[in-house]
Amino acid sequence: MQMQKHEISRSLSSVAYQKILVGIISGEYPANEKLPSEAKLCEKYSVSRPVLREALTRLKEDNLIVSRRGSGSFVIKRPDDAVLSFSKISSIAGIQRCFEFRTDLEGSAAGLAAKRRTPDQLARIVAAAEKIDEANRLNTIASDEDFEFHLAIAEAANNQYYSTVMKSLRENIKEGMNITRTLSLQSSDANRMALVQEEHNTILRHIIDGDAENAELAMKKHLNSARIRMFEGTDD
């Protein structure tokens, strides 16, 4: 019964998260402005304060709002409304949580890959990185190539549980990749896609060097940055 209550609370907080996110993207809650009070938000979205606070915590983790002691919560970034054209709002919270889950999973896999990869496995990782480079030069989304890079690293950990989980999440992972890579291609910042690939290259260098600690850190940094890039804003 306690677990059921927790699941209901998580579901309600996801709905509140989605509704506030739409409000931020639409400009209902403008960048650099204060959100309504918790009491008003609870009333507007028909949720309890604990449920609302969980939603606000997620928005903070996504670098969209910040809490200021004694003043409330403020919007610090408005994501590009193109986000909503690539994915249903109901799935955006799940995509963000998938990035969150992947951070520890793939970070650990990259660390193990640096220690355990065989020459053939390393060659596969290198080939995947080169294919992403080529796709970038052609200005294509390359989510298949991107997934292959991450899967090749997971399999080079030589622990089947990492690759099994990656394969089971294939569609969720690729949906996030499609959004972040498309936004990067459309960005006015010409360096954005190059930055993404440099993150890949940094992971690769540490795996080649057998540097498990830095391979893990580089992968975690890359996935956290990817999660934040999904919400790169039009206002800062």
148/174 same-domain check:
yes
Whole-number Å distance between alpha carbons of 15 and 80: 20
Residue 62 tokens, joined: 């996504």
The residue range of the domain holding 53 is: 2-79
pLDDT of residue 43 exceeding 60: yes
Q: Which residue has the higher pLDDT, 129 or 192?
A: 129
CATH of the domain at 110: 1.20.120.530
* pLDDT at residue 202, rounded to an integer: 98
18/118 same-domain check:
no
Average pLDDT, the chain: 89
* pLDDT at residue 9, rounded to an integer: 56
End-to-end CA distance of the chain: 43
CATH of the domain at 48: 1.10.10.10
Q: DSSP states of 203-231 as a string? A: HHHHHHHT-HHHHHHHHHHHHHHHHHHTT
50/126 same-domain check:
no
Domain count, the chain: 2
- Segment 170-188, tens digit of pLDDT: 998 998 898 888 888 877 6
Q: Are the CB atoms for 215 and 113 separated by under 8 Å?
A: yes
What's the whole-model pTM score?
A: 0.79
> pLDDT class for 1, splitting at 50, 70, 90?
very low
* pLDDT at residue 160, rounded to an integer: 97
Whole-number Å distance between alpha carbons of 171 and 46: 32
Which of 79, 101, 129 delimits the end of a domain?
A: 79
Which of 64, 79, 94 delimits the end of a domain?
A: 79
